[in-house]
A and B are shown apart, each in its own frame.
Chain A
Amino acid sequence: MNFRRIEIIFLVTFIAIDIFLFGMFRKNMDMQADNVSQGGSDSVIIKEMRNDQIKVGNLSRKNETAFYISGEQSDVLRNQMGQLANQTPQFVGHELESELKQPISVNKTNPQKSINKLLTDSTFVLFGDQYVYSKDLSTSRNIVYNQKALGSSIYSSEAQIRFTLNSNHQIVSYTQSYLQGIKSLRESSETISETRALIWLYQYNEIPNNTTVAWTSLGYTKLLSIDGDRVFIPTWIIAIRPQNSTQVQLKRINAFTGGIIKETDENLKNNPSSMN
């Protein structure tokens, strides 16, 4: 065995040791990065979520400002539906249901482009300029518009227009609900950030493993009803989609307090449990 061969064996051994040590070193750096970016230990929890096979996109840490707002359910749609042309409107339970006499063709890929133009026509839809397209809630056959409110929009079936399309990309009918006199109940306050909202939802065990966070949005959702009045609070709406599924599930986090909001539809004054 000559010296040269020994040298080669040593070289190979040391290169192997180097690779191993370098791997250790990299891992170490990651651990330190975790420690440093302890911005409220948020990143640790986000990482934990990713370990649980929950897919999350980039999240904003910005605190927004929002209001408590209220709106009133009224019959204004019924009173003004006489001005609608080329359709047969019906007013059922605070909702205006209307079938078009002639289906209207819309843009195939971006139906909202055509509908946005139509909404400026008050003989087609009442108060159309007060609604905004919601990409998240819309599907190819069902185009959803939410009512606008103080720089954001309301996510509620009580303030919405839903257009139904046929397979030829034509609007055949729509349903509209409208809240009147939307106003702020108090001056604006700071809300929690998107990151916080998602983390708390996770900590409440409301995000199952193997899911994808499809989208999140800060909008107003209904907190309670008092007679005809509706009170809305800023809410982080988080859509969760289980893997291998197309259905999304909506979760709501109160953007002021961080509490989770369960689906309830109680009228404060008619609820016997709060009357004692």
Chain B
Amino acid sequence: MRFSKYLIPLALTIAVVVSLTLSVVLWTNPANYRNNKQQTAQSPQTQQMIKPKRYVYTPVQALHTNADGTQQIMVNKLVNTVTEVKKTMHNYQNPKIKTLSKNSKVDYFRIANQTDSIMLNYSDTVSMRVVNYIVKNHFRKFPNYKINRIILPTNNSTKLYLLYDKNFTVYEVDVKKRSLKPLKKVLKMDMRTQPASFKLLNNKPAVYVTTSVEMQPYKYLIDRQSDDYYVSRLLNTQDSTNVNVKRRRNMTIYGDQSSLQLMFNSRNRMGEFSDFRPNHNRKNLTSAIQDSYKNVTKLGLPMDNVRFFSYDPNTRAIMYRTYVEGFPVFRTSGFGTVSTRTLNSSAQRTIFSLDNLEVPLPSNKGYVSLPSTETMLKRLKDHGYNMKDLQKVRLGYTWKKDTTSPLLIDLNPDWYIYYHKQWRSYTSLMNQY
């Protein structure tokens, strides 16, 4: 009896306390007042087309140095070799950086050509912030040095090296001991190899191929994008009635009243987007790359296999190219897939192609043989070219329209040479005189 006397008051007290607590929790919870507005989702197609920075700003070539010092380019076959090597670089713990040497070619090549190592080559100079994209942000505390190459020793689990070509600087990065198994596994993957060596060309480090090169010609189905797609994406101002159109021969020019202009050339299927709104006009390499990435993603171009190719500090032009089998594609004009440029604080320009490679098709053409770097350079020299003018050389593919269908493109292997500030094919240089 005594127990039940207290039971009801006690239960009542508990009930009151619980209701008070719940009331307080509910009232103070911000979720009740949240804005119920849904985020406007991007269309599925766009989401897939946008590739992350670590995909676009990536080394494009992997060079393996064996235990006996011989070197070979790891050419993509069933896997993308660079991607596979990059996968092993995601968890460097406690990285520390120091400058090993500067202005010493001997030290530079001693590190670069060390036995049992893999060298990852960027197509052009990048900054540490950009290298940071591929190592999952583990290098974020490093000074923003300029970098061209990464050396990953396959027999040293605590060190890697970063190289800058211009003044032959070698940076050593010490990391916590890691397993080398994943890296060694990559070397056993199914790939083609091409004998090569890493040495100077016109006083600049370059990868030479030492034997003649067998390369596979390709046929590709292209993805044809209409003008309208870009008009609606890029000139998407508050009211679309403001967009005016002018036509002149094979040019179509769309513009809003003041600051945006979109120009299409129906003959060579190129588009040019000019943005005259104020921009940050940033001049350093890292900012230039970041601004460029924004502009390219805004464009909505399919970025499948499109990679950063070059940055010209004078014009601040950044070129991106599509890579096939690990080799860049060049059009007859030397153009790639898309390029961005900041002219001044109130003008930015993006040039892009309306036709882009989509699906590779079976080609029954056999492999094409290209001469080795030395042979190629010697032939050009014999042809009357000054060696000093041949600044950079690359193996690449020439974009050529297929005769049977406008939706097909032939890609023919060729040497490409940076000659008088323009990428020219070996064939065109040889045919010039």
- Interface presence of B241 (CB below 8 A): no
Taking a contact as CB atoms under 8 Å apart, the answer to whether A11 and B325 are in contact is no
How far, in angstroms, from A184 to B23 measured CA to CA in the complex?
63
Contacts of B31 in A (CB 8 A): 28, 31-32, 35
Per-residue CB contact flags for chain B residues 44-85 toward chain A (1 = under 8 Å, else 0) read 110111000000000000000000000000001111100000
- Interface presence of B106 (CB below 8 A): no
Interface residues of A in 190-236 (CB under 8 A from B): 192, 196, 199-200, 203-204, 223-224, 226, 229, 231, 233
Taking a contact as CB atoms under 8 Å apart, the answer to whether B22 and A268 are in contact is no
Specify which of B11, B32, B361 is in contact with A231 (CB 8 Å cutoff).
Answer: B361
Specify which of B19, B41, B360 is in contact with A186 (CB 8 Å cutoff).
Answer: B360
Contacts of B325 in A (CB 8 A): 186-187
Q: Tell me the dominant secondary structure on chain B's binding face.
A: mixed
- Interface presence of B267 (CB below 8 A): no
Contacts of B429 in A (CB 8 A): none
Taking a contact as CB atoms under 8 Å apart, the answer to whether A269 and B361 are in contact is no
Taking a contact as CB atoms under 8 Å apart, the answer to whether A226 and B11 are in contact is no
**What class of interface size applies to chain A in its complex with B?**
35 or more
How far, in angstroms, from A18 to B304 measured CA to CA in the complex?
57
Specify which of B25, B48, B305, B360 is in contact with A185 (CB 8 Å cutoff).
Answer: B360
Q: Which residue, of B8, B76, B359, B405, has the highest number of chain A Cβ atoms within 10 A?
A: B359
Given the interface pairs A15-B15, A21-B23, A35-B31, the reply to whether A7 lies near B304 with Cβ below 8 Å is no
How far, in angstroms, from A44 to B377 measured CA to CA in the complex?
60
Taking a contact as CB atoms under 8 Å apart, the answer to whether A259 and B361 are in contact is no
- Interface presence of B29 (CB below 8 A): yes
Specify which of A8, A32, A187, A258 is in contact with B44 (CB 8 Å cutoff).
Answer: A258
Per-residue CB contact flags for chain B residues 14-38 toward chain A (1 = under 8 Å, else 0) read 0110110011011001011010000
Given the interface pairs A10-B12, A68-B360, A70-B361, the reply to whether A188 lies near B25 with Cβ below 8 Å is no
Sample (26) of A-B pairs whose CB atoms are under 8 Å apart? A7-B8, A14-B12, A14-B16, A21-B18, A25-B26, A28-B32, A185-B360, A185-B362, A186-B324, A187-B77, A187-B325, A188-B79, A200-B44, A203-B44, A224-B221, A231-B359, A231-B361, A231-B362, A257-B49, A258-B48, A268-B407, A268-B408, A269-B405, A274-B405, A274-B406, A276-B406
Q: Which 7 A/B pairs are nearest by Cβ-Cβ distance?
A: A14-B15, A21-B22, A185-B360, A70-B362, A187-B76, A200-B44, A258-B48
Residues of B at the A interface (CB closer than 8 Å) are: 8-9, 11-12, 15-16, 18-19, 22-23, 25-26, 29, 31-32, 34, 39, 41, 44-45, 47-49, 76-80, 221, 302, 304-305, 324-325, 359-362, 404-408
If A35-B34, A189-B80 are given as contacts, then 11 extra A-B residue pairs at C-beta distance below 8 Å, sorted by A number, are A7-B12, A14-B19, A17-B15, A24-B22, A41-B41, A188-B78, A188-B80, A199-B44, A223-B359, A257-B45, A276-B406
